[in-house]
Every structure is written in structure tokens, then in C-alpha cells.
Amino acid sequence: MKVLILGATGFIGLPIAQAFVRAGHVVYGQTRSEEKAKQLVAEEIIPVVCGPADVNKYMALIPTLDALIDAMGGTDIKAAGEALLSTVAIAASTLRHPTAPRLAYIYTSGTWAHGENRTAVVCDTTPVTSPAELVAWRPAQEQRVVTNPYVNGIVIRPSLLYGRAGSLLAPLFRRAHEGRAYVLAAERAALAGGRIFDASNDVNESTDAFLERLVEVSGAQGPYEYLKPTNLFEATLNTTTILRPYLARTLLGWRPRKAGLNDHLDIYYNAWKASEGLL
């Protein structure tokens, strides 16, 4: 397959791009920076240097592309994601051969879409009715993606604790797994199209248990204490969702293989220290 990852040097985009390379695909990666473009070349990723929504810069790929992955980061992703979908959809409808399969369009959402609920167990297909305030706009974008008639829309919601939560340790070990979920969704786009997948484990990992364990493995002075959130992002970090995803397991054969965060926290903590030059 031929795939294009938007945000290919990003926190989520790079492991996705690497996973596609490992799976033997031809991988294009968008980045704004000439410097990062060289890193992509070294990873066997063909760089496309432009802004993620500068569709005219990669228009030539659209007729023969199999999958486009929106893994854009930044502060403007709400407007950018919406504009990108409509521009790509128009390009795909006009530039692709009428009998070509629809372009798989994979949008990166997040499990914050489920919002706070400490009693109800939710899964991929649970209707989303009260998303976390920070991402209140996301469910509408998810729906635009999966219902767009010109692309084969797929939504993946990486889980927060391991994804974009800003956690310094968790991302180090989980990213590769999520990358694999994207590869499987693109490879099985005929099955995955029109669906929303929660890409998370099904382990109960409470913040208190995590913090207790972190005090233990880091040797920090306990006990820990909570600070009052000072902005919407910090408030959203406190979102609790009891998630039991099933769709990626049944349709894509994907499941996270790592143990829960707390079980091997000592290893992850050391990995983080090593990567920061703190060992």
C-alpha cells in the first residue's frame, strides 16, 4: 500500500509511520521542517515538506494513495482537521479513477471523547454524549469522517494515559502498539471503513494506584498530593472513563500486548530517564 501520514514526525505520527514501514508499505510523511525531513528519510519515510493541510502540495499523490492518516498535532487541530477532510474528499472525488477503491482516511481522535463517567462501562460503539470539555468538538468531527461519502473514513481513538496525556513516561512504551492499530485499520480498510475504534487496553488503572507506584519506583518523597487544575487541559487530565474496547480486537485482530502501566512502571520510568539522559 501507499500511505501518507500527516504529522509524521509527531508524537503519534512517527510511531505510526514507522509501523507502516515495518509492515512493508510505501510511506510518505508530511513535516513542515527540512531538518525533520532528513530524519524521515533515515527512517525510510518519503518526506513531503509542507503544512499538513496544504493539500495542493501532495495533490499528486491522491489518485494512487491507499490511505491518508491525520495525526496532526498542534493547537489548531479543530479547524485544520475539518478543513483537511473536506479538501481531501473533494480531491479524491475528482482525481481518483471512478472505479478505484475509496481512499482510506484515518482520523486520530482520543478516548477523552467518552468523557467522565465513573460508573458506566463504555466501549467503541457506545454513543458519545458527554465528551470532555476540552474535546467537545471531536465527536462531530468523528462523525464527519465516518460518514463522508468520498473517502472510506475510519476513526482511531488512542487512549489518553498512554497517548497524548502529556505523561512523560507512558508514551515511551505504548506508541508502537498504537502504530500497529493504524496499519491494521488501513490494511483492512474494507472492513474498518465507517467505524470508530478505541485503541486502548482494558485494565483498570486508577490515578491513585499510578501515583502510589510512581512514588515507589522514583524514590520521590511521598505522599503525593493533587493540585487544583489551572487550565482546561489539566482539568481534562482528571477524566475517568471505564473503557472495554472490542472492535479492534474482533475486526482487526489488534490488542495491546503490554501489561498495564502500573505493573511495569519501574521499567518505563527507567526508559524515560534514559531517554532524557538522566541515568
Q: How many CB atoms lie within 10 A of CB 200?
A: 26
Q: Which is nearer to ligand NAG, 127 or 277 (CB)?
A: 127
What is d(CA 59, CA 19) in angstroms, rounded to the nearest whole number? Answer: 24
Q: Which residues bind ligand NAG (CB under 6 A)?
A: 116-117, 119-120, 130, 204, 226, 229, 238, 242
Chain position whose Cβ is nearest to ligand NAG: 120
CA distances from 175 to 11, 148, 152, 218 (A): 8, 28, 24, 22
Q: Residue 237: which of 111, 137, 98 has the closest Cα?
A: 111
Report in angstroms how near the CB of residue 200 gets to ligand NAG at its nearest: 13
Report in angstroms how near the CB of residue 118 gets to ligand NAG at its nearest: 7
CA distances from 260 to 73, 104, 214 (A): 26, 31, 14
Q: Which is nearer to ligand NAG, 60 or 224 (CB)?
A: 224
Q: Residue 85: which of 178, 154, 160, 164 has the closest Cα?
A: 154
Report in angstroms how near the CB of residue 44 gets to ligand NAG at its nearest: 41
Report in angstroms how near the CB of residue 224 gets to ligand NAG at its nearest: 12
Report in angstroms how near the CB of residue 117 gets to ligand NAG at its nearest: 4
